[in-house]
Amino acid sequence: MLCQDVKKKGECKAMQARDVFFIDYDGSLADSGDIDVKLFAELVEMMSQPNFDLVLCSGRPAPYLQGVRSFFGNKVKTPYIIAENGSVVVVRKGHRFYFEMLVPWDERQAIFKIKEDLRKIQQRNNYDFVVEYGKDYSISVHWGRSFEKEAFWEYFNGNIESWIGAQRLKKIRFVPTSDCIDIFGNSISKATGVKHVLQHYAPKDLGRIFYVGDSANDIKAAQVVKTMGGKILAPENVSSDFQPFVDIVGKGRTLSGVIDAIKTAI
């Protein structure tokens, strides 16, 4: 039952708890960066319930996700963004945005060093891989045609001092996905961001919690949400390592699967 269906004012107030939807971007909302406009409109309509909060989560940089958030307009409440695999949380208060950095200083330093190494490798060898440069607290390396995953590992293992050192000291870790590798602080994951965001809610204001994801870098976040009694949703293209954590798999790839799973869940 929706709040507007409730006649008595007191009852309505008691039902104002927010249902929070954490939705991963790549692989869940977008397929290789592309969003289906028609389906997206359907999602916007679905998420525009007054008691729904949408939190976009991704390994991508915060400014990129802020752009995606703007597509939801004012109808959908998106008070938070979890970016760079939980390294950064953007908090919206009125028209202002606050960036909260969740990475410990030593891990940040290790990431900076590796980023510098990657830039040098790229410039020196003109290798065909893409490092996402908007990021300060994590790195995403996207494979190119001439520089595939295996070659990357071979190169890394043999050449990068700071990488080997940071890995040995457990300051960084990497999560390979289908088209890129995410490198970020060892104590950070999307779960860090999810925990951080949930702390912004008073327990009485928190309704149902949902986490929508598709791959390995969603596992820890899903575990946090499950521990709090939430549900895990995924589209059909869910990876085999994430699937065991999923409660509802929607019919269809990416956005169509996500919409189907949300419809079933709510």
Residues that bind Mg ion (CB under 5 A): 24, 26-27, 214-215
Of 177 and 264, nearer to Mg ion (C-beta) is 177
Distance between CA atoms of residues 107 and 156, nearest Å: 18
Instruction: Write down the least CB distance from residue 212 to Mg ion, Å.
Output: 9
Cα 157 vs. chain centroid, distance in angstroms? Answer: 28
Q: Which residue is nearest to Mg ion (CB)?
A: 27
Q: What are 173's strand-pairing partners?
A: 184
CA neighbor of 86 nearest in space, from 244, 176, 219, 178: 219
Is the CB of residue 225 less than 8 Å from the CB of residue 217?
A: no
Instruction: Write down the least CB distance from residue 264 to Mg ion, Å.
Output: 20
Instruction: Write down the least CB distance from residue 95 to Mg ion, Å.
Output: 29
Of 24 and 107, nearer to Mg ion (C-beta) is 24
Of 78 and 167, nearer to Mg ion (C-beta) is 78
Of 121 and 141, nearer to Mg ion (C-beta) is 141
In this structure, what token pair is assigned to residue 110? 């290790």
Instruction: Write down the least CB distance from residue 59 to Mg ion, Å.
Output: 8
Pairing of strands 18-24, 138-142: unpaired
N-term to C-term CA, the chain: 11
In this structure, what token pair is assigned to residue 14? 């008691």
The Cα-based distances of 231 to 72, 83, 100, 195, 265 in angstroms read 23, 21, 26, 15, 8
Instruction: Write down the least CB distance from residue 69 to Mg ion, Å.
Output: 17
CA neighbor of 51 nearest in space, from 2, 14, 6: 2
Of 82 and 160, nearer to Mg ion (C-beta) is 82
Instruction: Write down the least CB distance from residue 213 to Mg ion, Å.
Output: 6
Of 214 and 260, nearer to Mg ion (C-beta) is 214
In this structure, what token pair is assigned to residue 105? 């200083």
Of 166 and 193, nearer to Mg ion (C-beta) is 193
In this structure, what token pair is assigned to residue 245? 């954590």
Instruction: Write down the least CB distance from residue 218 to Mg ion, Å.
Output: 6
Is the CB of residue 180 less than 8 Å from the CB of residue 140?
A: yes
